Amino acid sequence: MSKTNISRRNVLRVGVATGVGFSMTTAYATETMKSVTPPQTSGPFYPIVAQSDKDADLTLFGNSTTLALGEIITVEGKVLGDDGKPIADAVVDIWQANAAGRYAHETDPNPAPLDANFQGWAILKTDADGRYRFKTVRPGAYPAAKGWDRPPHIHFKVSRRGYHEITTQMYFENEPLNDVDRLLNALTNKEQSTLIAKRDGSSGSFSFDIVLAVV
């Protein structure tokens, strides 16, 4: 066999190998890429008065030993980049209505009662694996406008340097008001599914992951 033929064959082998490697890398990147969590409005009730207690247990407020009213639940999940990698030290800012559907906010017109033992607001950080977890009560529905009751939901604002900040809302599976909510139904079915937290069996734990876009 001539040196010319050997040389050509080696070139072809390198070309095929490189092409396969590129194809495998592209396929892997496609599999690991994740859809960014769709944004939603922060609403008018983000806390504007500072409070000293913003820890991960919203069922107790300050030094009180009396639990907040309502169904106690746990929400946990991961904050990920759209490259599929977990984001450590992301700031997870959450706020919500109490079990009666009332926010502890000066401008909330809802006549439902306040709950002095409900914290209502927390600021957390994800761990080294991008995980967060907090304990709270399932928020109540409340009237937003004539003919429109908002389903139970929790507001999230998540940020980390190197990623685009996002504000969104988490909903609960099997909630009838989800089907008629104007904000949730403004999204595609696929986008809606990413905002609906799944219950872990019959437990009081709900799972909700958030995906941020890499800057």
CATH number for position 129: 2.60.130.10
93 and 117 both lie in a single domain: yes
> Binning pLDDT at 50, 70 and 90, where does residue 33 land?
confident
38 and 28 both lie in a single domain: no
Amino acid at 145: A
Average pLDDT of the residues of the chain: 89
Which of 142, 167, 141 is closest to 38 using CA atoms? Answer: 167
Would residue 153 show up in a list of annotated catalytic residues for this protein?
yes
Work out the average pLDDT over 77-100.
Answer: 98
Model pLDDT, residue 1: 52
Catalytic residue among 105, 138, 153, 160: 153
102 and 118 both lie in a single domain: yes
Catalytic residue among 150, 160, 163, 171: 150
132 and 202 both lie in a single domain: yes
Catalytic residue among 102, 105, 138, 142: 142
Would residue 150 show up in a list of annotated catalytic residues for this protein?
yes
123 and 147 both lie in a single domain: yes
Would residue 103 show up in a list of annotated catalytic residues for this protein?
yes
Work out the average pLDDT over 56-75.
Answer: 97
**What would the pLDDT profile of 70-84 be if each residue is shown by its tens digit?**
999 999 999 999 999
Q: For the chain, report the end-to-end CA distance as a whole number of angstroms.
A: 54
16 and 80 both lie in a single domain: no
Model pLDDT, residue 116: 96
Residue 117 has pLDDT above 70, yes or no: yes
Model pLDDT, residue 126: 98
3 and 70 both lie in a single domain: no
63 and 92 both lie in a single domain: yes
141 and 178 both lie in a single domain: yes
Structural domain containing residue 100? 34-212
Catalytic residue among 155, 160, 163, 171: 155
Residue 13 has pLDDT above 70, yes or no: no
For β-strands 210-212 and 91-96, DSSP reports them as unpaired
Between the alpha carbon of residue 159 and those of residues 77, 92, 111, 163, the distances in Å are: 15, 7, 33, 7
Residue 27 has pLDDT above 70, yes or no: no
**What would the pLDDT profile of 197-215 be if each residue is shown by its tens digit?**
999 988 899 999 999 999 9
21 and 108 both lie in a single domain: no
